[in-house]
Structure 1
Amino acid sequence: MISLLSTAQTTRKYSNEFLNIGVDAAALGMSNAVSSHTSDVNAGYWNPAGLVNLEDNQLALFHSSYFANIANYNYIAFAKPLDDKSAVGFSLIRFGVDDILDTTQLIDDQGNINYDRVSLFSTADYALTFSYARRLPLDGFSYGVNAKVVRRIIGDFASSWGFGLDAGIQFQSKNDWKFGIMARDITTTFNAWSFDDEKLADIQNAVEGQNQTVPESTELTLPKLQIGLSKKFVFHYDYSLLTSFDLNVRFAETNDIISTSVASINPALGFEFGYTDLVFLRAGAGNFQNELQLDNTESLSFQPSLGLGFKYRGIQIDYAFTDIGDQSAALYSNVFSLKLDFSIFR
């Protein structure tokens, strides 16, 4: 570890960022403020300690598109209880851009342009996660851990393997307040890159007069914390209101609303209104940023989100409308997810 840390001059603020996008339209509709109360198959991503609340096997599917459908984000997860005290889960994430034009061979050695030499390639990030959760002897406490393998591919140009660990805890008080902490990349997730020297040489020589250097071959992803508090209120038996508040902590100086040289903190607030555990309306606000304007003044921006969900027996379909409210552009994403509880087969 000492050798690794001394030679890797690549500890970055934004390595493996595809793992921070989020899964489950229900969570995204609440601006990801779910670390304290997540309790289904998707808890393997948000806080594995919540997996102990599973009563049966569950399967989850999720899809979202970004950048005008250029990039696609897909997720599948499965979780099952082992007994009344422990549970396990598995998940796979792919975030990729396909059919990118490779024009590095467009001009041949004689300077002729030949469009037949243009090819296509894809860049994709994969993460395979194994989760384990268990109740603690202390009343109301549970813990969970994730072991994840990260595979990143940029056509034939470069690829990497990575490995990391997450850990989380949850606590539910007797008056139904819930508290959670999710620590991501607690071991500083490590990625080792390999490059195709011949392909990189084509890129470096593609533009005359530019000397593009080969990137470092190792990356270390800094740890992050998500601290949450939530409570569910029930009115007249049929109506419920779930309120949740999270603090997202990065150990780096960023544009977050609270930022120091040691850490930056970004709050998120989410609400879920439910009727007879059948229909759900969700809203949230997060990603509070201090944006620098052209006149060198700063303004506060944030991203609100909206969501809708339906649950019948063991089938739940959720939709989220996110990335809205940007002050400089009308950005949005339509997000869908499906959750299946195997109790419907029993």
Structure 2
Amino acid sequence: MCIFVKNLQLKRVITILICIITSTVFSQTVRKYSNEFMNIGVDAAALGMSSAVTAQTADVNSGYWNPAGLLNLEDNQLALMHSSYFASIANYDYAAYAMPLDDRSAVGISLIRFAVDDILNTTQLIDDQGNINYDRISLFSTADYGLTFSYARKLPVEGLNYGVNAKVIRRIIGNFASSWGFGLDLGVQFESSNNWKFGVMARDITTTFNAWSINKDEFAKVQNAVEGQNQELPETTEITIPKLQIGISKKMTFHYDYTLETALNLNVRFEQNNDVFSSSFASVNPALGFEFGYIDMVYLRTGVGNFQNELQIDNTEQLTFQPSFGVGFKYNGIQIDYAFTDIGDQSVALYSNVFSLKLDFSIFR
């Protein structure tokens, strides 16, 4: 009877999440895409498992993957991550801090920066008389920032937790344009009596809204730099439509020292695209991850995700996917992880090296 009540409560929470997302999506008359840098992911341990961690995330990085997981913190934690993309042209950095408030609640804060620095601005290279002056070349950066405040709390039902994210988005394109954005995430986790874990993460449930401010004087220089191109001012508003991530995981122990954790994620977007399962209402992209551990110290990880039906030149479709691999080492509250992951699919050799560090403050106690 008790298990039945727990499952019923979980179903109700999931139903409420889905209703919120679908009603929000269809209330928007214009759909646009923004803030994709917030979907790259954090933590090399999670990326090594193809981001299939919605159900079992249980540390400081839960603020990103599912804030409900912050309830598993036993002490304050700090996380740092760095990776480079596109032959080190773009840098992706992440820092997070989380702490338990009491035995029923926890909080966290995280910051993501995705940027291309030192871009040459050649709009003033040639003056009105046609003279070239290289001293007129300047540098600028285009940077995206995501600041997230997380709060998690236990529900009266045993094993059921929820968490909320409040996000502030700041995007800057040199002196040309900048924007502010705001949004909310909602996540839940449930752990059954037989150690099965379930998780739901609803991102941008209110549709994250970005408002841009355009420097028309600077943009006019761009328009005049390329003759006959009729550049238009970019849109001044953007909307990030909601996404839903549903996860399930199970951890098994062998001979006391060995563990194997398997996890499955279903990533749902409310649009039609090239995902392996797609309709006019929504598309579903699965991700599968594995983590093999030895004495809770050494970890080997692998995963596969981002399944896409890509259209070929001969109008046939080919199924592509994104593989990932990773290793981790934890000792005395310090954990170092590494992930080797393709940023696209296995058909294009654009692999990235991701490093992350996690520090548990219990080592100072």
Three-state SS of the structure 2 residue aligned to 1:50 is: helix
Q: Which residue of 1 aligns with 2:349?
A: 330
- What residue in structure 2 maps to residue 173 of structure 1? 192
Partner SS state of residue 19, structure 1: helix
Instruction: Normalising by structure 1, report the TM-score.
Output: 0.96
Contact 1:66 1:333 (8 Å CA) reproduced:
yes
**Contact 1:273–1:281 under 8 Å retained in 2:** yes
Amino acid at match of 1:111: G
Structure 1 residue runs without a partner (length 5+): none
The residue number in structure 1 matching 2:114 is 95
Post-superposition CA distance 1:228-248 (Å, at most 9, x none): 000000001100000000000
Q: 1:327 to 1:50 in 2, by over 3 A?
A: closer
Residues 323 and 346 in structure 2, CA contact (< 8 A), matched pair in contact too: no
**Over the residues paired in the alignment, what is the CA RMSD in angstroms?**
1.3
> Could you tell me whether the CA contact under 8 Å between 1:39 and 1:54 is conserved in 2?
yes
What amino acid maps onto 1:214 in structure 2? L
Q: Secondary structure at the match of 1:139?
A: coil
Deviation string, structure 1 residues 23-70 (Cα, Å, up to 9, x no partner): 000000000000000000000000000000100000000001000000
The structure in which a higher percent of residues are helix is 2
* Paired residue secondary structure (1:295): coil
CA distance in 1, matches of 2:205, 2:100: 25
Residue 325 of structure 1, CA deviation: 8.5
The residue aligned with 1:126 is 145
Secondary structure in 2 aligned to 1:202? helix
How much does 1:180 deviate?
0.2
User: Are residue 30 (structure 1) and residue 71 (structure 2) matched?
Assistant: no
* Residue number in structure 1 paired with 2:274: 255
- 1:149 equivalent to 2:168? Answer yes
Name the aligned partner's letter for residue 133 of structure 2: N
Letter aligned with residue 109 of structure 2: F
* Corresponding residue to 1:63 among 78, 82, 99: 82
Matched, 1:40 2:59: yes
Quick one: which amino acid aligns to residue 193 of structure 1? Answer: W
Q: Within 5 A, what are the aligned runs for 1:191-340?
A: 191-323=210-342, 326-340=345-359
Deviations 1:138-195 (A, max 9, x none): 0110000000100000000000000000000000000000000000000000100001
Q: Distance in 2 between matches of 1:324 and 1:223?
A: 22
**Residue 136, structure 1, aligned to residue 181, structure 2:** no
Distance, in Å, in 1 between the alignment partners of 2:343 and 2:90 is 18
CA distance in 2, matches of 1:286, 1:216: 32
In 1, Cα distance between the equivalents of 2:152 and 2:200? 14
Matched-pair contact (CA < 8 Å) for 1:10–1:218: no
Q: For 2:128 and 2:53, locate their aligned partners in 1 and report how far apart those are by CA, in whole Å.
A: 57
The 10-residue stretch of structure 1 (114-123 or 18-27) with the greater mean CA deviation from structure 2: 114-123
Q: Quote the Cα distance in structure 1 between the aligned partners of 2:353 and 2:359.
A: 21
Query: Could you tell which deviates more after superposition, 74-83 or 255-264?
Result: 255-264
Which consecutive segments of 4 or more residues in structure 1 shift more than 2 A?
A: 8-11, 324-329
Residue identity (%): 76
- Within 1, Cα distance between the matches of 2:294 and 2:163? 31
3-state SS of 1:211 partner: coil
Task: Give the counterpart letter for 2:224 in structure 1.
Answer: N
Is the 1:249–1:265 contact (alpha carbons within 8 Å) kept by the matching residues of 2?
yes
C-alpha separation in 2, matches of 1:288 and 1:208: 42
Q: Amino acid of the residue matched to residue 363 of structure 2?
A: I
Paired amino acid for 1:228: G
The SS at the match of 2:102 is coil
How far, CA to CA, are the matches of 1:158 and 1:135 in structure 2?
42
Query: Structure 2 CA distance, aligned partners of 1:11 and 1:80?
Result: 37
Kept in 2, the 8 Å contact 1:10–1:216? The answer is: no
Residue ranges of structure 2 left out of the alignment (5+ in a row) = 1-24
User: When the two structures are aligned, how many residues end up with a matched partner?
Assistant: 339
